Amino acid sequence: MRHYTGIDKLINSFDQALRSLVPGTTAAQRENPAVPEETQLAVSEARHVAGLMRVNHSGEVCAQALYHGQALTAKLPNVRLEMEKAALEEQDHLAWCEDRLKELDSHTSLLNPIWYSLSFGMGALAGIAGDKYSLGFVAETERQVSLHLQHHISQLPAQDNRSRKILEQMNEDELHHRDTAINAGGVDLPMPVRMTMTAISKLMTKTSYFI
């Protein structure tokens, strides 16, 4: 196994950040689950859907940063590999959300660099705290993301099957990542940590919808 120096890891982290933040640089490994037919949306509906998809895209940026930060500081090689694998799977979500935003003639959030930085730092701290807490952090993150996705699915216009299929597949993946983290030994996080995560999530949701 190749030994990476501190400079190597720094360059890799910078490359991962750019791929997560610059639209069009992330390619999905899986086919977009959106159904092929397109349904006409009213202007107000399209604007609302774009806001929801922008929030979900920002959530995936946060997930990327979380996994990248944890992989950087994880102590056990198998945990580090799990984090890297999960980050790759989450790249599909980034690409799918970007595709839908383009179809809606909209854009990703301008605040994504802020969310990435915060999430990367939190992920790195979780990794330093220990692998069981790092995995617990993943489980709690994915639980909260799943709740957001289910809420957004319920807000979609009835005829918007393209967005619905994307969010449903994303939710299925997030629940799988949550279960994987728990089965690997993740522990419940202290209540203050969970409350902080919820507060940051609400702030991201409210701002990324518009910006």
User: Tens of pLDDT along the chain (211 residues)?
Assistant: 455 565 655 566 666 665 666 666 677 778 888 877 777 888 899 899 999 999 999 888 888 888 778 777 766 666 666 666 766 777 888 889 998 999 899 999 888 888 888 888 888 887 777 778 878 888 888 888 888 899 999 999 988 989 999 999 999 988 888 888 888 777 887 788 788 878 888 888 889 888 8
**Domains in the chain, please, with CATH?**
42-208 (1.20.1260.10)
Nearest to 100 by CA among 150, 156, 144: 156
Contact 81, 159 (CB under 8 A): no
- Res 25: pLDDT: 65
Q: Binding residue per annotation — 148?
A: no
HSE value, Cβ hemisphere, 13 Å, CA-based, for 84: 12
Q: Binding residue per annotation — 90?
A: yes
Contact 166, 47 (CB under 8 A): no
Nearest to 167 by CA among 115, 117, 99: 99
Q: Binding residue per annotation — 174?
A: yes
- Res 77: pLDDT: 66
Q: Binding residue per annotation — 82?
A: no
